[in-house]
Amino acid sequence: SAVISQKPSRDICQRGTSLTIQCQVDSQVTMMFWYRQQPGQSLTLIATANQGSEATYESGFVIDKFPISRPNLTFSTLTVSNMSPEDSSIYLCSVTGRANEQFFGPGTRLTVL
Amino acid sequence: GNSVTQMEGPVTLSEEAFLTINCTYTATGYPSLFWYVQYPGEGLQLLLKATKADDKGSNKGFEATYRKETTSFHLEKGSVQVSDSAVYFCALSDNAGGTSYGKLTFGQGTILTVHP
């Protein structure tokens, strides 16, 4: 299984600001995923990030709000832009294993005031 | 589209009780099925998986069998412990290829609390 780290682990931000979350994997992977887990809720896929191409966003998520970078096969960033309290969530990145299972990073707990 | 439905929670049990958490799914094609666990304050961990019909996934005393005829993947454990208290998520992965490949669809999660 892959070892995934995320930075920051948590942050408290002011309304209207932006936060960039980093995801680092210990091996090269083609596809990386970004999920959001709102308080007390399940996980919802934000986008799929492939190296060398534009991220593919799920319905309800747009690039202007959640720009993603994927500069190489071990790293990705997700930016939460122009934040509001409704963006308070845990944001998780994940990568796919051999049996299509996904391994998740520890998550970034974001609170927007 | 794909969907996963879990039994309503929360579930509260005494230690050594039998656990069942129901999970049913709707998917096109032949998805892979997973159970993930999220312990308090921690990230999401893969608990077990099954990639084809009649496969049984097992780990840490937990089991789940991929039932294509009933589109189910119920999680069971014969004797729960206090340390099993966590949120359990059932999920499926679309194996159809293209832009859907590898994406997980999650159920709503079931909170399990085990008392001594």
Most confident of B7-16, B21-30, B68-77: B68-77
The rounded distance, in Å, linking the Cα atoms of B13 and B30 is 34
pLDDT-above-70 percentage for chain A: 99
Greater model confidence, B43 or B97: B43
Tokens of A73: 């096969």
Contact of B74 with B21, CB cutoff 8 Å: yes
The rounded distance, in Å, linking the Cα atoms of A62 and A46 is 9
Nearest to A107 among B43, B89, B95 (CB): B43
Nearest to B43 among A56, A100, A106 (CB): A106
A2 close to B (CB below 8 A): no
Residues 6 or more apart whose Cβ sits within 8 Å of residue A62: none
Handedness of CA B5, B95, B42, B58 (dihedral sign): positive
Q: What is the pLDDT of residue B9?
A: 81
Are A101 and B93 within 8 A, CB to CB?
A: yes
Tell me how far the alpha carbon of residue B86 is from its chain's centroid: 12
B103 close to A (CB below 8 A): yes
CA nearest A109: which of A14, A32, A37?
A37
How many C-beta atoms surround the C-beta of residue B70 within 10 A? 8
Q: What is the pLDDT of residue B99?
A: 55
Tell me how far the alpha carbon of residue A30 is from its chain's centroid: 15
CA nearest A82: which of A8, A11, A19, A37?
A19
pLDDT band at B101 (very low <50, low <70, confident <90, very high): low
